[in-house]
Amino acid sequence: MIEMLRVLKRTENFFVNNNKHRKIDGIKPKKSKLESKQQELSRILHETKISLESEGYDIKQLE
């Protein structure tokens, strides 16, 4: 009976630990996606500023 409880406890720990890794692995791709979106938005903002500067807008007006 004690051996059975030990096996159950090990099995439970295995699933708990695996679930933690899945959650952590799931966060990394989301963080990577957010970083790439942030870079894309920064690039678009930079291109828009350059375009508006070429049309005669002052940098102070843009900020």
Q: Which pLDDT value is given to residue 46?
A: 87
Q: Is residue 1 a part of any domain in this protein?
A: no
Q: Is residue 27 a part of any domain in this protein?
A: yes
Tokens 């952590």: give the residue. Answer: 24
Q: Is residue 36 a part of any domain in this protein?
A: yes
Reading the block at residue 43, the tokens are 């690039």
- Cα–Cα distance, 47 to 38 (Å, whole number): 14
Question: What's this model's pTM, rounded to 2 decimal places?
Answer: 0.50
Q: Which pLDDT value is given to residue 33?
A: 81
Reading the block at residue 8, the tokens are 């159950």
CA 3 to chain centre: 42
Q: Which pLDDT value is given to residue 41?
A: 92
Q: Is residue 53 a part of any domain in this protein?
A: yes
Q: Is residue 26 a part of any domain in this protein?
A: yes
Interval 14-38: pLDDT, tens: 666 665 555 555 666 777 788 888 9
Q: How many distinct structural domains can be found in the chain?
A: 1
Mean pLDDT over the full length of the chain: 73
Model confidence band, residue 45 (pLDDT cutoffs 50, 70, 90): confident
Q: Is residue 33 a part of any domain in this protein?
A: yes
Q: Is residue 32 a part of any domain in this protein?
A: yes
